[in-house]
Amino acid sequence: MKPAPTTDLTVREQILDAAAALFIEHGFTATTTRAIADLVGLRQASLYYHFSGKEEMLEHLLRASLDPYFDIVQHFEHQVEAGASPAAALHALATTDARLLSSSERNVSYLWLLPEVQNDQYRHFLDEARRYQDAYARLGAAAASAEVRAGLDEEQLGVLLEHLTELVPQLRRTGRVAEDYIRIIADSCLRICGLSDAEIADAATEARGLIAGLPEASGP
């Protein structure tokens, strides 16, 4: 891997970029702080002026991958309270989620798949991420047909729906993320909920309006 090019990023941001790239390519355990420093063009000792170690870097990257989503969830759930259909809000959430995952510079959401992130050290991040899964569960349960609700409880539905969007970081690694995949993911969320093709088409149309109403800072 070549050293990071000169950019307008701060040194701290360059370190995080390099760490994310190396964690994704080689794994967290196999990545050394020396390798991160070399990629940025720093002496290894200089790295510690900015971070205590690679564990702190991973924590910052995980935090950065979480923060944009909670405002988005709140926005779409408020739209349901104001009269939007849960199916449209779910479609809008899945679409926005997938677009953010496909466009983030570092593909940091892939880091959630690292085995080290499943350890107790990062348990608080996993607990926070579960709040996002809970939003999928609530919207999914509200949108689902009676038949689907009879076969899946709310938690199970949330797991299935969120995992569909988690395909995006994997697809990015193969270069296959496009708007068609995003549409398929969002439509598939509603199919899991038991909606018909006509109901999905109506929800997708309504969802476009909900997405257009997102605050600019939170939009995809």
Q: What pLDDT does residue 118 have? A: 82
Domain contains 6 = no
Residues 98 and 131 in one domain: yes
Residues 78 and 169 in one domain: yes
Residues 43 and 72 in one domain: no
| 117 within 8 A of 111, measured Cβ to Cβ | yes
- The CA-based dihedral angle spanning residues 109, 110, 111, 112, taken in that order and rounded to the nearest 10 degrees: 70
Count of domains observed in the chain: 2
Q: Cβ atoms within 10 A of the Cβ of 113, count?
A: 12
> What is the CATH number for 43?
1.10.10.60
Residues 23 and 115 in one domain: no
Domain that holds residue 126: 66-218
Closest to 192 measured CA to CA, from 169, 208, 154, 202? 154
Percentage of the chain beyond pLDDT 90 is 56
Q: What is the largest CA-CA distance in the chain?
A: 61
Domain contains 100 = yes
Residues 95 and 198 in one domain: yes
Residues 112 and 172 in one domain: yes
Q: Model-level pTM greater than 0.95?
A: no
Domain contains 2 = no
Residues 130 and 213 in one domain: yes
Instruction: Tell me how far apart the alpha carbons of residues 34 and 111 are, in angstroms, rounded to a whole number.
Output: 20
Residues 76 and 178 in one domain: yes
Task: Give the mean pLDDT of 117-133.
Answer: 80
**pLDDT tier at 219, thresholds 50, 70, 90:** very low
Domain contains 60 = no
Residues 185 and 149 in one domain: yes
Domain contains 61 = no
**pLDDT tier at 6, thresholds 50, 70, 90:** very low
Residues 142 and 201 in one domain: yes
Domain contains 168 = yes
141-154 pLDDT tens trace: 999 999 999 999 99
Residues 91 and 183 in one domain: yes
Domain contains 79 = yes
- Token readout for 21 is 């790239």
Mean pLDDT of the chain: 86
Instruction: Tell me how far apart the alpha carbons of residues 29 and 17 are, in angstroms, rounded to a whole number.
Output: 17
DSSP helix/strand/coil, 145:
coil
Q: What pLDDT does residue 220 have? A: 37
Domain contains 33 = yes
Q: What pLDDT does residue 177 have? A: 67
Instruction: Tell me how far apart the alpha carbons of residues 149 and 25 are, in angstroms, rounded to a whole number.
Output: 40
Enclosing H/E stretch for 53: none
